[in-house]
Structure 1
Amino acid sequence: MNPRALRAAGPAILLVAATLTVFAALAYGGAADPLATGDPGPFVRWGLPVAKLVVNLSAAVMVGSLVLALFALRAGEKEFDAALDVASIGAAVFTVSAGTVGFLTFLEAFNPQLSAGPEFGAQLGSFLTSVELGRTWLITTIAAAVVTILAFAIRSWTASLFTAILAIVSVIPMATQGHSGDLASHDATVTALSLHVVGAAAWLGGLVLLVVLRPVLTDRALPAVLARYSSIALVSFVVVTLSGFARTLSSIGAWDQLGTPYGGILAIKVAALVSMGLLGAWYRQRLIGRVATAARAARSFWTLIAVELGFMGIASGAAAALARTSPPFTETPYSTTPAEILTEEPLPPELTLDRWLTSWNVDLLWAFVAGFGIFFYVAAVVRLRRRGDRWPVYRTVFWVLGMLLLVWVTSGPINAYQEYLFSVHMLGHMLLTMAIPLLLVPGAPITLALRAIAKRDDGSRGGREWIMWAVHSPFARVVTHPLVAAAIFVGSLWVFYYTDLFRWSMYDHLGHVWMVTHFLLSGFLFVMSMIGIDPVPYRMPYPGRLVTLIAAAAIHAFFGVSLMMQSGLMMAEWFGAMGRTWGPTPLEDQYIGAGIAWSIGEIPTLITAITVAIQWSRSDERQQKRADRHADRTDDAELHAYNARLARIAERDAAGR
């Protein structure tokens, strides 16, 4: 297919395939059938899933265009500006469609009588501000509107980056909708859906942008842009596939349930995704490198793109229908025990020694972080070795161990019991903020990335360029300063546990994700400022580092003591209301957790101090060796000059007498 013809036909192929699929899937699954009571009418039953389909497609165009522009194009060029224009158009459609979904959701949930009177407006306003479902779509609509304005108004690298981050954040609330709340492992389901939505958006939106940009891309720039998009699509495919599989486990309990309407629609979506993966592998291996030089390869490539857009439309339509179709494997939404009311999951059995080895509650987000972290690190090491460069084995070992420990903390027994035992929560906190960074920092990931990732010479920014920008940004100069990093490290303890941030992290999964991210990064920054190998704007002298470590350890120990002296229970409405019949009492458990913060938490600090002392000693040895080599090269010229100067001084003193 001619690329100019595809520019007009591509979006039409996507929309037609998605619309036909969603209507067929709704009819097959019965999601648009009239309700026995409180039926909102055919307009809402059919209009709501179609509006959600438009939300999904427009959000993908918004996110994918910004991501591809930042990773594959050059700021200041017409291609970059066109990408931001496409993102702004996608965000505008996203704004309108999200507002429509919010309105139709209100009609479906409350089935009010439509009118222009104040009562209807008051009901709608109350829904949008007081009901979680309404607030979600209100926040989504406002965020999309802000992205619309920013993408239209800005053209610089940094502003585009923050606009892209806001665009990604704006699609996350959609993952909390659908049937996820009625399924087992609500938090795991929401995480899987969030990853699924973001991955699909980057994949689909980038492809649409390629089709739109093709007529303005030069033949010289085209292969590089296609290869960069292919890398984004590959990562997105992995994320979409694994997160989709995790989501399926919560909705399909057995193979025979694939015969249900939900299973049939899911099978269509899976088939479309597999087909897209095969097409992507085909043109990545066979066609991208020849697109600019071989007319036949170019025609084949753009024809495959048209076919892939059709499959993406089918997958998008099936996804919109699945969000409206009841899954066959659900649990009752009515909680019967205190633990279920608080955590939405049953109270686990007593934490015994064997459960420390066998209990798992996988957090898909951090499993992805660790998996990609290990893969890209090892790939970078392999690249260095293939070109003849050396990379110390111990750094790889430290990095892999740190990532594996991250998986164990966020997906193992600590994650399975941290909501029920304060002591387990505190142990996980100490490992996140102190032990894991102590393993990751010696891995020197920034240095490895800067050495392994190829430097671009076309003015665009790849991984290496964005890392260099981050390292030298004013924000990095502030947060990596040892005193600032130490203040964040120890100050976070007091702010987190003595404010409502602690409560937020327990009640809201988003708060839990923020907690893990914050303490992991704050610990990493602190350890890197003390013993890091990676480049930082300012490196404190060794005596200053030791003094900072001693001060941080003292404040950290005082925090643990302050917890031990607590006479009341922290978050009594949570830890004191679980209904546990096993283990220590909530107050005893809190005392144990305080002891962990005071005692075990100091061990990594001591290891860091010892490491600083060793580095200091080795630094003095290296300085002395350099001085000795210089003396050998100059035949002790400096020593001879110094002795001669002393001799002259002695002669003047003798003459003066």
Structure 2
Amino acid sequence: MNSPGVSPQRVLLAFAPLTLVVAVLSLAVSGAVAPTPPLDPGVVARWSLPLLTLVTRLAAVVAIGATTLCALVLPTTPKTHHVHKRAVVQTNPQAWELAARIARVAAIVWALAQLASVIVEYSVTALRPMTEPTFGSELWVFLTQVDLGIAYLWATILTAFAAVFVVLMTHYTSAAWAGTLCLVSLVPLALTGHAAGAASHDLAVSSMLMHLVAVTMWMGGLLILVVVSRHLGAELPSVAARYSQIALWCFIITVVSGVCAAWIRLNGVGELFTTPWGLLLTAKTIGFIALGAIGYWHRERTIPQLGEGRAKPFWLFVGVEVLIMGATTALAVTLSSSAPPVPQSPLPDPSPVWEATGYAEPPAPTFATWFTQWHPDPFLIFGCLAAIVVYLRWVYRLRKRGDSWPIGRTICWVIAWVSLLWLTNGGPTVYGRILFSAHMIQHMSLVMITPVLLALAGPITLATRALPARHDGSRGPREWILALVHSRYARAWANPFVAAINFVGSMWIFYYTPLFELALTTHLGHILMTVHFTIAGYLFANVIVGIDPGTNRPGYPLRLVFLLATMAFHAFFGISIISMNSLLAASHFGQLGLAWWVDALVDQKIGGEITWGIGELPTLGLAIILVVMWSRADTKEAKRRDRRAERDEDAELEAYNAMLAELAEQDAQR
């Protein structure tokens, strides 16, 4: 399938030199490695830091790309399958094995380069030469007591931990775990660099994390596809098409995150052409636009031509795509090493609200401000919109092939994600970080309202019907969903008793431990809180009124008992908050100094009343839905028995009457 003129080997040989040359030239031109008198860490430290960063990024790209292809694209076991009911294709596992070996080497290089870059990072940040006698002790203080150093330390630990999992991966599940841990290792990196500044901190962190995840999966997947292509043979068209789907989503995420990052680092569009940082960003943007155009051409032209035996156009465009990716990666490293036009340093003398939340104090809450005050998070906004788009695409796919899907479920899904978008970006988030009562409105809606709508929408049932099945032994989205739903871990958490305990117990553990304050004061903690309680609410709602598989639902009477029991626990939780005479997260709520003064303890009691009230109303709604489902189930059972009676001329009733007659005859004989 390879073209003699444009071979994958030649593409890879040109990738590394071009990336290095662009990195060196951009660093020299931008002045990112210029001396910093009177204190200078030295020319070795100044040059080695961006180059080590480049090695770290490239190793991460390869490791994440390889684990992504191993988990989602490539088959791992030999298997014969049919294409269009005629051609027979023998799956070759050598591509999977080669990708796994590359992932292991890249993960080890990533961990070692990350460790080295931490040492050099301190030298450049503190302007301390590495030859100083006290450098080691100062480095330890930096890694254990300074926020930036702690982030770098966690990045090193997580990278080493991920490398262990990558080395040990042998199949799809282990590849998925390894890839997930590699992606988690990117989180501390999103907290450093320009994202570590105080200006628009949450927006910067989310956009940086999205950018890192998308770029590494996109670029790494393409590089690994080039390397393993010689082992794919007739499978190359299907493998390329699968990767193309991943690349499309990565391109969209990269564009969204890139726009957000540029928005908070530029004073206007004009600085794209008048500042060194803006010129670098412009060059990088041009590269990504070219990559998007090439990706579109792949999907429309070159991948279909692979099935016709015409590989030359595909490899020609792949070669150009890989080289552009290398150049844009080098520009990205230079951008991260240069100062943007908008300073990202901490604000001088920030207000208590800004210091605690990262945004200015909002106006006093009114009905209107709950809908006009927004604190957008690109990660959550994109997730909500993507969930709606994917669900609607699945429904369209069913309708296109003549299958039906209830419109009510679609409406529930759209409303659920629109409400989640508002809860996590609008007034509930803006006021939920400074008022306990507002936080409880947000929290109880996340755990009691949105999950019910998600359960009624039946997303897993829709996915298993709409997503295509694979026949070559690899795992696509449908196979992963089924594997997850039927795994013993998912079944354990979806068990009715466990789901109910998790649903209620999580609230007590969260609010009466430091986890609550962690969610209020850190962006990552807030994201994890949102994800956990939404999933916990969905698991419980799926037991009570859901239609998705994955749990052994008890009978309707026992479901009602579960519901009433959780309602009692929620009421008791609300009463416990009302009865408290001390503040939860006192160091946070007690030091905000709001201009529109609020008694924090009185507001907390109001939050307890809201917890009680919001907990009761959705529970009542769930009870009504459950009773309606119970009634419909009885009606369906009665109709089913009637139809069976018509088919067998009421044999069940005849047998019952015969039994009664026999018993009567026996009584008469006695």
**What range describes the TM-score normalised by the shorter chain of this pair?**
over 0.9
Q: Does 1:169 align with 2:190?
A: no
Partner of 2:650: 636
Secondary structure of 2:405's partner?
A: coil
CA contact (8 A) 2:451 2:537 kept: yes
1:240 aligns with 2:254: yes
Residues 544-555 of structure 1: pairs in structure 2 closer than 5 A: 544-555=558-569
| Residue of structure 2 in register with 1:505 after alignment | 519
CA distance in 1, matches of 2:572, 2:410: 35
Is there any run of 5+ residues in structure 2 with no aligned partner, and where?
Answer: 78-92
Q: CA deviation at 1:332?
A: 5.5
Instruction: Decide which of 73, 78, 97 is 1:81's aligned counterpart.
Output: 97
Task: Give % identity.
Answer: 38
Shift of 1:583: 5.2
- Equivalent-residue separation in structure 1 for 2:123 and 2:654 (angstroms): 94
Distance 2:26 2:206 in 1: 25
CA distance in 1, matches of 2:4, 2:124: 42
Shift of 1:116: 8.9
Please say if 1:394 is aligned against 2:408: yes
Note the C-alpha offset of 1:641: 2.4
* Whole-Å separation in 2 of the counterparts to 1:332 and 1:641: 85
Q: Which residue of 1 aligns with 2:497?
A: 483
Partners of 1:535 and 1:552 lie apart in 2 by 22
Number of the residue aligned with 1:286:
301
Aligned residue in 1 for 2:168: 153
* Cα gap change, 1:584 to 1:141, in 2 (>3 Å): closer
Contact kept, 8 Å, 1:13 with 1:309, in 2: the verdict is no
For residue 88 of structure 2, what is the aligned residue in structure 1?
Answer: none
Cα distance in structure 2, aligned partners of 1:335 and 1:447: 53
CA contact (8 A) 1:427 1:597 kept: yes
1:309 aligns with 322
| Alpha carbons of structure 1 residues 309 and 73: separation in structure 2 relative to 1, 3 Å | same
Q: 1:321 aligns with which of 334, 344, 369?
A: 334
> For residues 527-574 of structure 1, what are the alpha-carbon distances to aligned partners after superposition, in whole Å with 9 as ceiling and x for unaligned?
011100111241111111000000000001100010011111111211
Tell me how far 1:257 sits from its aligned partner: 1.6
Indicate conservation of the 8 Å contact 1:94/1:141, yes or no: no
Question: Are the equivalent residues in 1 in contact too, given 2:95–2:229 (CA < 8 A)?
Answer: no
Q: Is the 8 A contact 2:496 2:551 kept in 1?
A: no
- Tell me what 1:36 maps to: 37
Matches within 5 A, 1:573-584: 573-582=587-596, 584=598
| 1:490-509 CA distance string (max 9 Å, x none) | 00110000001111111221
- Provide TM-score, normalisation by structure 2: 0.94
Deviation track 1:277-309 (CA, whole Å, cap 9, x = no partner) reads 000100111011222433xx3112111111111
Which of 415, 419, 422 aligns to 2:433? It is 419
Partner residue, 1:539:
553
Q: Is the 8 A contact 2:42 2:129 kept in 1?
A: no
Q: Which runs of 5+ in 1 are unaligned?
A: none
Farther off after superposition, 487-496 or 282-291: 282-291
Q: Is the 8 A contact 2:6 2:319 kept in 1?
A: no
Find the counterpart in structure 2 of residue 105 from structure 1. Answer: 121
1:52 aligned residue? 53
3-state SS of 1:250 partner: helix
Say whether the 8 Å CA contact 1:3–1:214 is kept in structure 2: no
SS in 2 for 1:345: coil
Give 1:466 shift: 0.5
Q: Which residue pairs with 1:186 in the alignment? A: 201
Q: What does 1:14-33 correspond to in 2, within 5 Å? A: 14-33=15-34
Kindly state the Cα deviation for residue 165 of structure 1 after the two structures are TM-superposed: 0.8
Q: Which residue of 2 aligns with 1:63?
A: 64
How far did 1:331 drift?
Answer: 5.9
Deviations 1:181-234 (A, max 9, x none): 33521011101000000000000000110111011112x211110000000100
Alpha carbons 1:16, 1:313 under 8 Å: kept: no
Please point out which of 214, 238, 244 is paired with 2:229: 214
Q: 1:533 to 1:644 in 2, by over 3 A?
A: same
Cα gap change, 1:332 to 1:138, in 2 (>3 Å)? closer
Question: Alignment partner for residue 257 of structure 1, among 263, 271, 277?
Answer: 271
Are 1:354 and 2:372 counterparts? no
> CA–CA distance in 2 between the matches of 1:602 and 1:157?
44
CA distance in 1, matches of 2:459, 2:484: 14
1:396-428 CA-partner distances (Å, limit 9, x unpaired): 111011111111111111112211111111111
What CA distance in whole angstroms lies between the structure 2 residues aligned with 1:299 and 1:12? 18
Distance, in Å, in 1 between the alignment partners of 2:389 and 2:154 is: 36
Cα shift at 1:148: 2.8
Q: Secondary structure at the match of 1:62?
A: helix
Tell me which residue corresponds to 1:613: 627
CA contact (8 A) 1:83 1:213 kept: yes
Aligned partner of residue 583 in structure 2, secondary structure: coil
Q: Tell whether the 8 Å contact from 1:3 to 1:211 is kept in structure 2 after alignment.
A: no
Asked whether the 8 Å contact 1:441–1:532 carries over to 2, the reply is yes
Over aligned residues, Cα RMSD in angstroms?
A: 1.7
Moved more, 313-322 or 332-341: 332-341
The amino acid that maps onto 1:322 is: L
Deviation at 1:437, TM superposition (A): 0.8
- Distance apart, 1:341 and its partner CA: 2.2
Structure 1 pair 646/344, CA: closer, same or farther in 2 (3 Å)?
closer
- Cα distance, 1:42 vs. partner? 1.8
Deviations 1:345-382 (A, max 9, x none): 22222222221221111111111111111111111111
**2-structure distance, mates of 1:88, 1:618:** 55
CA distance in structure 2 between the partners assigned to 1:523 and 1:487 by the alignment: 11
Amino acid at match of 1:142: I
Q: In the alignment, what sits opposite 1:94?
A: 110
Judging changes above 3 Å, is the alpha-carbon distance between structure 1 residues 293 and 95 closer, same or farther for their aligned structure 2 residues? same
Aligned residues of 1:472 and 1:537 also touching (Cα < 8 A) = no
Partner of 1:372: 386
Query: Which whole-Å deviations, capped at 9, do the CAs of 1:495-526 have from their partners, x for residues lacking one?
Result: 00000111111122111111000001000111
Q: Shift of the alpha carbon at 1:14?
A: 2.6
Q: Secondary structure at the match of 1:160?
A: helix
Task: Encode CA deviations 1:318-365: one digit per residue, 9 max, x unaligned.
Answer: 111111111112366223321222223222222222212211111111
Q: Contact conserved, 1:437 with 1:527, CA < 8 A, in 2?
A: yes
How far apart in 1 are the matches of 2:123 and 2:585? 38
Aligned counterpart in structure 2 of residue 275 of structure 1, from 279, 290, 298: 290
Counterpart of 2:151 in structure 1 is 136
Hey, what's the Cα distance between the residues in 1 that align with 2:199 and 2:397? Answer: 42
Contact 1:63 1:201 in 2 (8 A): yes
Larger mean Cα displacement after TM superposition, 233-242 or 22-31: 22-31
2:210 to 195, 203, 216: 195
Rounded to whole Å, the distance in 2 between the matches of 1:484 and 1:114 is: 53
Given the alignment, which residue of 323, 342, 359 partners 2:356?
Answer: 342
